[in-house]
Amino acid sequence: MMARNPGLISRRSLLKMLGVGGAAVLVAACQPKEVEGSVEEEVATKSGQAPVPAAEEVKTIRYLGGFGQSWEDFYNTEVLPKFYDLHPNYKVEMTLIGSWPDLYNKIVTSTAGGMPPEVTRQKDFFTPDFIVRGLQQELDEYVAAKAPHIAEDQYVPHAWSNMHWSGKLVALPLLIFNHYPHFNIELYKKAGLVDSDGAPVAPDTWEDVREQANKLKDPSNNVYGTFLRDEGGKEDTVNFFHVWLAQAGGRLIDEEFSRFMFNTPEGLDALTFWVDLIKDGAMKPPGVSIEGIIPQGHVGMWWHASSYWVAYRRDNPDFEWSTAINPMRKTRGAIVRGDHHALFRQSKERDAGFDFLAFHQTPEITLAYGKNQMMIMPRYDVMSDAFYKEPYMGVPGAVYSVEFEQLEQPGNQPQPIFPGYQESSYKIGAQLILACMQEISPEQALDQAEKEANDVLASARRLLGVD
């Protein structure tokens, strides 16, 4: 018998491949348990304990939804060791995610796949889409049984009401925030927009915003007066638009969540204001990417909450900024929003998941989270902590009191939560971006956005029998 190509793939190598494949299958079958054991040991050792022998079955709590190393470090050093002290047979597995739309997508695919994580961090407006499909666990009974520290009088009213749907508690408040103006002190000095103490003069009205943005812009140095908080054309773009809509005296949606209400003179006012700023070159147009736009000094005025401060100081140790409450159009309103913690009904270790959430809501951990993530937490006992009374790391004008002051503005509106928010915000956001790129007029954008968003809303309400 002739072998034409001896040795190229002999039966021996075929057997070898089979062997490798078989070994791989064995390894695959064994892997997860191995890893669980080692990570648990590692964490236990970190917190100074000897590894606990798995006398009880190890319950794994999968936590979906974090960004970046610092977030994971925070949990590994400040939260999990204490949690494992209380529950030695628990293990928390953190899943990082790249962006909020990715997170939403991951929640959908994992619940669609019947294998949801135990716990997620999510934006408040994610919740209805999942709760009306019965995916999130209602928490009233759990709280009554195990978590007395989670009670209505402990929380800011907006936060507490947003945790509820149809009268039931469906999520736990993780943090709250609102967007308010920040100013680059150096650029303000350069533009001569400072007072006698050298502090930036906050714009009092939208006209001031326009004037200042135009004075701050410096095209030759790639400096803009301000920029769109989010250009993705998805939910964050709409969230930012909502802030300006509130100041213009408008509403996003009606109280019954039956139709959108942004296609009004107020909405047009807000969108046109943006578009005019872009036309003047005072607001950075969408698509132009500028790395380090804020800490590297490419923008004079911008909007968001305190959570970004730590990143600025890290990226530019000399960076200095100050803050103020929103300028006045018809109101100085902002949208009070927050993130939630949600528990998934079909998850494997649901009870353990709730224990983790309840632990997270204790004043001690809530304060630790707030300090580490530079966020205001919605619990009264935490908000009154001395931490929030201090200015931030010597930065003149970076003080939490401004965010608290903004929280009390009469023009504020709570983040509306209703099924279909995510999808309709994609439609609205796309039109807003098109208007900002001057592909269509603001009127056209709002008309088209309203039509498409109402369609989404109608189909959400119909399918889920919300009506």
Quick check: 391 and 139 in contact, CB under 8 A? no
Beta strand pairing status for 119-123 and 335-343?
antiparallel
Task: Mark the segment that binds other proteins (CB under 8 A) among 79-87, 228-236, 366-374, 388-396.
Answer: 228-236
> Which C-beta is closer to other proteins: that of 412 or that of 422?
422
Q: Is 11 exposed, middle or buried (0-12, 13-18, 19+ CB in 10 A)?
A: exposed
Task: Mark the segment that binds other proteins (CB under 8 A) among 2-10, 81-89, 190-198, 257-265.
Answer: 2-10
Applying CB under 8 A, which of residues 74, 90, 100, 274 lies at the interface with other proteins? Answer: 100
> Which C-beta is closer to other proteins: that of 291 or that of 408?
291
Which residues inside 110-149 make contact with other proteins, applying CB under 8 A? 110, 112-115, 117, 133-135
How many residues touch other proteins under the rule CB under 8 A: the total is 74
Which residues inside 33-62 make contact with other proteins, applying CB under 8 A? 35, 62
> Which C-beta is closer to other proteins: that of 110 or that of 373?
110
Which residues inside 426-445 make contact with other proteins, applying CB under 8 A? 430-431, 433-434, 437, 439
Q: Does 104 bind other proteins (CB under 8 A)?
A: yes
Which residues inside 72-91 make contact with other proteins, applying CB under 8 A? none
Which residues inside 274-333 make contact with other proteins, applying CB under 8 A? 286-293, 311
Q: Does 219 bind other proteins (CB under 8 A)?
A: no
Q: Does 151 bind other proteins (CB under 8 A)?
A: no
Q: Does 423 bind other proteins (CB under 8 A)?
A: yes
DSSP string, 315-369: H-TT--EEE-PPPBSS----EEEEEEEEEBTT-TTHHHHHHHHHHHTSHHHHHHH
Least Å distance, CB 126 to other proteins, is 12
Q: Does 105 bind other proteins (CB under 8 A)?
A: yes
E strand map for 166-207 = 168-169, 172-177, 180-184
Quick check: 251 and 193 in contact, CB under 8 A? no
Task: Mark the segment that binds other proteins (CB under 8 A) among 143-151, 247-255, 329-337, 423-431.
Answer: 423-431
CA distance 335 to 337: 6
- What would the two tokens of residue 152 be? 């209505």
Q: What is the dihedral of CA 122, 123, 124, 130, to 10 degrees?
A: -50
Q: Does 403 bind other proteins (CB under 8 A)?
A: no
CA distance 162 to 258: 18
> Which C-beta is closer to other proteins: that of 153 or that of 291?
291
Task: Mark the segment that binds other proteins (CB under 8 A) among 98-106, 238-246, 375-383, 395-403.
Answer: 98-106
> Which C-beta is closer to other proteins: that of 242 or that of 298?
298
Applying CB under 8 A, which of residues 10, 77, 161, 384 lies at the interface with other proteins? Answer: 10
Q: Which of 247, 296, 234, 252 is nearest to 274 (CA)?
A: 247
∠ CA 233-235-240, nearest 5°, is 85
Quick check: 257 and 416 in contact, CB under 8 A? yes
